[in-house]
Structure 1
Amino acid sequence: MDFASFARAVFALAITVGLIGLAAVAMRRFGPDVMSRLVPHRAERRLAVVETLVLDPSRRLVLVSCDGDEKLLLLGEGQVLNPPPASPAPAPAPARRKATKPKADA
């Protein structure tokens, strides 16, 4: 193997690695838009992420809409960290009427 063929192999490897890196950067920057155009869309989607908010490196808030109902999820460390839903406030007790004693007819 002479120097020219060795140089050509190294140059081809450098070009290949460079193209792979360029494709990775392009997919990272433009990937979600391109992938959403490639996937056929149904007429109406039931599930949508409305908004996300990063709280810290391990936790984020996600507002999800499903069938018109929005839920707020706290995600972190590979799991949903939501507390159980709060029980609804108890309804006020109906007003009691005072019992009247029947009058004795004398």
Structure 2
Amino acid sequence: MLDIVEFIRALAALAVTLGLIGLGAWALRKYGPDAIGRAIAARQERRLRIVESLALDPTRRLVIVSLDGQERMILLGDGKLLDWIPPPPPASFLASKPAPEPVV
């Protein structure tokens, strides 16, 4: 009977020890030295973001990125920048422009 009680006590001590190690690892990951840098980076507004990505083949990928509100298409793998179509000008810009004179 005494051996079973000691075995259960040792098993409980092992579980508590492993739990404390896991809790310490979680706390270090969440509040470790680089946590301050991650918190600052998360607060900053990002200018560049990936809108969509498409794998063309194993070596090339087509990516649409947005930079300051403008989207550009980039072909990765060959190192080439493809043509991109800028968004149309706003309607207020078109309304303020005088109509072109007809050519006779």
TM over 0.5: no
Higher share of residues assigned helix: 2
The bucket for the TM-score relative to the shorter chain is: 0.3 to 0.5
